[in-house]
Amino acid sequence: MTDFNTIIKGEVPVLVDFYADWCAPCKMMPPILKQVKDQLGDKIRIIKINTEKNRAISEKFQIQSIPTMILFKNGEKAWKTSGVMQATQLLATLKYYIN
């Protein structure tokens, strides 16, 4: 948990993708997140958290369905959503918080 807290408190906003290996919709997210990272580059950091292997983090942020994404800015939760989002929607939302 210490490493996670250090990561989300960085200067660069962090998008956390909460997932599980068995989750079919979660498997749709990697190419979408790659498109987002390709577009935003160094303006964002994207990490994936397996909810089954990181139960404490999942419980702390009340992850009740997956995939769930949370955007952190300076260690604070700025935005949260559940379900698959298309890259264009996700980019539009993130740009609001990043710029």
Backbone CA torsion sign across 95, 82, 66, 87: negative
Q: Where are the alpha helices (DSSP H) in the chain?
A: 2-8, 29-40, 55-60, 87-98
Catalytic residue among 12, 20, 23, 47, which? 23
Active site residue 23: yes
Closest listed residue to residue 32, CA positions, set 96, 99, 93, 98: 93
Q: Which among 14, 26, 49, 71 is annotated as catalytic?
A: 26
| Alpha carbon distance 78, 80 (integer Å) | 7
Residues with active-site annotation: 23, 26
